[in-house]
Amino acid sequence: MISIRNIHKSYLNGQNSLHVLKGIDLDVAAGDMISVMGASGSGKSTLLNILGILDTYDQGEYILGGVKIKRLNERKAAQLRNRMLGFVFQSFNLISFKNAMENVAMPLYYQHVKRKKRNLIALEYLDKMGIREWAHHLPNELSGGQKQRVAIARALITQPKVILADEPTGALDSVTSLEVMDQLHEINKSGITMIIVTHEHDIAARTRKTIRITDGLITDIVEN
């Protein structure tokens, strides 16, 4: 599903260049569930953003679902993101003035699905996540775990092939974290490939394989 070879990425900060990814190789098979660990600043989010076609890379090769991801214009990149990828973030990234149902339905708005239809589909996904009764609540009326379930439902509504999650349990207590991980497991069982960045060992241990990034390089791969 995902194949990257010798990926390099530097950021320019004024006169200085910061070499963040220093030659990453990674293969993720369709249906796999892997975690990425590493110290703060080691390049985990940078890697995830490249995998999510949210950021570009300087050198190397990235193939996603058979498509070479290099110098895509924004329209093509957005198309691929829409068709292939779902995102889950630590901070949920919900729109504060839209209710849970409307947040989940948002990706379908961008696919020009009519409001009534997209809201109905959103309700189905909220139901799958066990929070249908919260459909008409605003994000600030939801607990952290409920917000993350809304965000996961929003990631699923376009039926992505791959879910990219950047510290999805980073803002949750440990019990809620494990519940959210259980749900991510269920989603993975339905065949969706999953890549989860985390710095929690018990979260990583629930994935099939953990990749450790140290200072921009993969230094360890452990089967869990």
Residues lying near ligand ADP in the complex (CB under 6 A): 11, 13, 18, 20, 38, 40-46
Closest separation in Å from C-beta 46 to ligand ADP? 3
If the CB atoms of residues 40 and 140 are measured against ligand ADP, the closer one turns out to be: 40
99 contact, one of ligand ADP, Mg ion, none, CB 5-8 Å limit per kind: none
If the CB atoms of residues 50 and 135 are measured against ligand ADP, the closer one turns out to be: 50
**SS3 letters for the chain?**
CEEEEEEEEEEEECCEEEEEEEEEEEEECCCCEEEEECCCCCCHHHHHHHHCCCCCCCEEEEEECCEECCCCCHHHHHHHHHHHEEEEECCCCCCCCCCHHHHHHHHHHHCCCCHHHHHHHHHHHHHHCCCHHHCCCCHHHCCHHHHHHHHHHHHHCCCCCEEEEECCCCCCCHHHHHHHHHHHHHHHHCCCEEEEECCCHHHHCCCCEEEEEECCEEEEEEEC
Closest separation in Å from C-beta 22 to ligand ADP? 11
139 contact, one of Mg ion, ligand ADP, none, CB 5-8 Å limit per kind: none
Closest separation in Å from C-beta 175 to ligand ADP? 25
35 contact, one of ligand ADP, Mg ion, none, CB 5-8 Å limit per kind: none
Closest separation in Å from C-beta 45 to Mg ion? 3
If the CB atoms of residues 137 and 199 are measured against ligand ADP, the closer one turns out to be: 199
If the CB atoms of residues 107 and 168 are measured against ligand ADP, the closer one turns out to be: 168
If the CB atoms of residues 89 and 125 are measured against ligand ADP, the closer one turns out to be: 89
Closest separation in Å from C-beta 39 to ligand ADP? 7
What lies within 8 Å, CB to CB, of 147 at 6+ separation is 92, 94, 139
If the CB atoms of residues 4 and 164 are measured against Mg ion, the closer one turns out to be: 164
φ, ψ for residue 95, nearest 5 deg: -85, 120
Which residues in this chain contact Mg ion in the complex, by CB under 5 A?
44-45
- The whole-angstrom distance between residue 210's C-alpha and the CA centroid of its chain comes to 16
Quote the CA–CA distance of 79 and 138 in Å, as a whole number. 29
Closest separation in Å from C-beta 113 to ligand ADP? 32
13 contact, one of ligand ADP, Mg ion, none, CB 5-8 Å limit per kind: ligand ADP
